Structure 1
């Protein structure tokens, strides 16, 4: 790509900057997409478990709900920058290193899963309980109620919360640059802050803002498509 930019008449310096920002954007997108996928895979079941074990639902278990809720709240309360440092041994154990974009995915997902779990629980609570009772009266099993009633009925809220989760991950991925997590955050710190190159700092911020705006636009569009209420 660098040779292509030079062929367009850009100076060597400008070509390197564009290449740098392009690579950083790709790394950030990689971190965000993979972290979001893992967070959804684990966060949605967590939210479902929180709901169905709470008071009034078909697997009500107050002690279990209290313990699980406390653990979720404790993880949510830890600032991301502290969590990244605290779980460095776990990150090394899982991916073999604590530096780089792949390593940053570990704290990103550990931080986001409980956050998304609570959002999913809140979304599922918007489903009228009468629909659940109607499904139970027709002999639907709890698993069928979850798949056919709770998740489909709460889908618009779930998409909005997935959108919020992606935006949070984008912000956290930028913070991951403080410990060598790669991506745009790393570029902003190494070049924009440590080398006092303000234009690079501004450009990384603009790219991150555009990513957030695009994410919100897609989330709003999908919500309108699936919301038939």
Structure 2
């Protein structure tokens, strides 16, 4: 039995890493540009457009306001359309990514707001284009804050991935529910919690280290 459980732990950990990794990367690829757009179109931004900014902001806030356990259920039709199923690791990636995008966007927007406006004005006075301002001023200056935000996102996704187990999403959450809760194997539940704690600590430590490296530069 314990040999079987060990294999399940290895498989479940792999599924969790896949879910968090894929959703985090896709979320960053879409969320970072969205955060940049939110900043650029805000009042006083290089591409100020209050109405457009407000419309995007409403959508971002609407998605962020939905509790993840409810989001899992709400997007089931969309999940089936993309993944072909509403259960399993591939299916869990869909709601995880949807939850990550607006979360990352707001964190990136917040990091960009911390950039000294004088640097942006200086770049504009020298004739820099919006693209040059983004790539050579905003993103480099805000990078420590962006990396810190991405670290927070990945940590949150670890917790969300465990919740995905409640609807058959696979991973450590699914293992904990099926064996630790439904079969009353307390040791499994405790082991799942400990692994999740270690995983979160590892992600946070790596993120903090990366932020320090970038900040030193």
TM-score by length of structure 1 reads 0.94
Residue 118 of structure 2 corresponds to 130
Residue 21 of structure 1 corresponds to 9
Which of the numbers 46, 57, 74 marks the counterpart of 1:86?
Answer: 74
Residue 116 of structure 1 corresponds to 104
**SS across alignment from 1:227:** helix
Residue 154 of structure 2 corresponds to 166
Q: Which structure 2 residues correspond to residues 1-229 of structure 1 after superposition, within 5 A? A: 13-228=1-216
Q: Distance in 2 between matches of 1:58 and 1:206?
A: 47
CA RMSD of superposed structures (Å): 0.8
Q: Which has the larger radius of gyration?
A: 1
- 1:130-176 deviation per Cα after TM superposition (whole angstroms, max 9, x unaligned): 00001111111001110111001001111110000000000000000
Q: Distance in 1 between matches of 2:208 and 2:98?
A: 26
- Stretches of 4+ moved more than 3 A in 1? none
Aligned length: 217
Q: Distance in 1 between matches of 2:2 and 2:174?
A: 19
Q: Distance in 2 between matches of 1:40 and 1:141?
A: 24
Q: Distance in 2 between matches of 1:148 and 1:170?
A: 32
What runs of 5+ residues in structure 1 fail to find an aligned partner? Answer: 1-12
Q: Distance in 1 between matches of 2:55 and 2:201?
A: 37
What runs of 5+ residues in structure 2 fail to find an aligned partner? Answer: none
Q: Distance in 1 between matches of 2:74 and 2:45?
A: 36
TM-score by length of structure 2 reads 0.99
